[in-house]
């Protein structure tokens, strides 16, 4: 199911409370699943169809592998699975497209061990799975976007494999995208400030509400007129536009 948000940033976590702000999707998306579905959903037969396989997991009384909603914010979550659970997108037609990438936003919480993992794959033209993300142990409470290298072919399917073994361990993912890498969401400076300031950028406009996020290699950035953005360390963006009298 598609909604207006394409990717998001996790601003903070307190217990199980997640404060999440969306970034807009773009016309270059060939497939975007943002899990704007009722909590507990385990299959989607709509325009962005997907399915799961938990035959090698043992969910028991406390385990789950399904969409979850926190304060109206949705994502896919797997916890206490005692084995591997698999999420698969529909097969996406990509003939005639170029410079394609796959990306997934991922996060985790709990005391992960080396045997706990979240692995990202794509299947090109019905072939074998190609891994583009392999995260084990603790890799962060904040959502991060993991993207593949450039892809060309006729068809593509996204596969996500997750394993953890405790009720207090959870892997989360969201915004499963197949997109033309010449596109991407855009962030706008709201005023002068720090590049990595959570109030510096908006995903709506130069005068928009803050998105509590910062540019990265998957986003475009526009610095508005008369805005001075300070870069204290390193930063990244797909494309940077600097308007008149900005720096």
The pLDDT tens digits for 115-138 are 999 999 999 999 999 999 999 988
Q: Across residues 9-35, what is the average pLDDT?
A: 50
116 versus 10: the higher-pLDDT residue is 116
Q: Across residues 51-63, what is the average pLDDT?
A: 94
Interstrand relation of 64-70 and 92-93 (parallel, antiparallel or unpaired):
unpaired
Q: Please state, rounded to an integer, the average pLDDT across all residues of the chain.
A: 82
pLDDT reading at 3 higher than 70 = no
pLDDT reading at 168 higher than 60 = yes
Q: Across residues 75-102, what is the average pLDDT?
A: 93
Sign of the alpha-carbon dihedral angle for 11, 14, 15, 18: negative
Q: What percent of the chain has pLDDT over 70?
A: 85
pLDDT at 11: 32
Residue 85 exposed, middle or buried by CB count within 10 Å (0-12, 13-18, 19+): buried
Cα separations (Å) of 121 from 4, 109, 238?
25, 22, 23
As a residue count, the chain comes to 247
Contacts 24+ apart (CB under 8 A), 46-51: 46/1, 47/1, 47/2, 48/1, 48/2, 48/89, 48/90, 49/89, 49/90, 50/87, 50/88, 50/89, 50/90, 50/176, 51/87, 51/88
For the chain, what is the radius of gyration of the CA atoms?
A: 18
Q: Which residues of 126-139 are buried (b: 16+ CB within 10 A; e: fewer)?
A: eeeeeebbebeeeb
Task: Give the residue from 182, 168, 178 showing the smallest Cα distance to 147.
Answer: 178
């Amino acid at each position: 199911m598609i909604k207006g948000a394409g990717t998001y940033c996790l601003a903070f976590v307190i217990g199980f409370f997640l404060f999440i702000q969306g970034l807009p999707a773009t016309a270059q998306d060939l497939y975007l699943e943002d899990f704007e579905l009722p909590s507990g959903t385990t299959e989607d037969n709509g325009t962005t169809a997907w399915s799961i396989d938990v035959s090698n997991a043992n969910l028991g009384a406390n385990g789950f592998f399904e969409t979850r909603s926190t304060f109206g914010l949705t994502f896919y979550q797997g916890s206490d699975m005692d084995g591997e659970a698999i999420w698969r997108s529909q097969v996406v037609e990509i003939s005639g497209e170029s410079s394609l990438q796959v990306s997934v936003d991922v996060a985790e919480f709990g005391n992960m061990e080396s045997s706990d993992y979240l692995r990202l794959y794509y299947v090109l033209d019905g072939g074998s799975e190609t891994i583009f993300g392999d995260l084990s142990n603790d890799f962060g409470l904040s959502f991060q976007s993991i993207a593949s290298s450039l892809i060309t072919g006729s068809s593509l399917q996204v596969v996500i494999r997750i394993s953890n073994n405790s009720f207090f361990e959870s892997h989360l993912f969201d915004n499963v995208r197949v997109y033309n890498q010449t596109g991407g969401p855009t962030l706008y400076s709201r005023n002068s400030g720090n590049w990595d300031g959570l109030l510096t950028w908006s995903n709506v406009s130069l005068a928009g509400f803050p998105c509590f996020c910062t540019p990265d290699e998957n986003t475009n950035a526009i610095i508005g007129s008369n805005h001075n953005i300070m870069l204290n360390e390193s930063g990244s963006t797909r494309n940077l536009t600097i308007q008149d009298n900005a720096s």
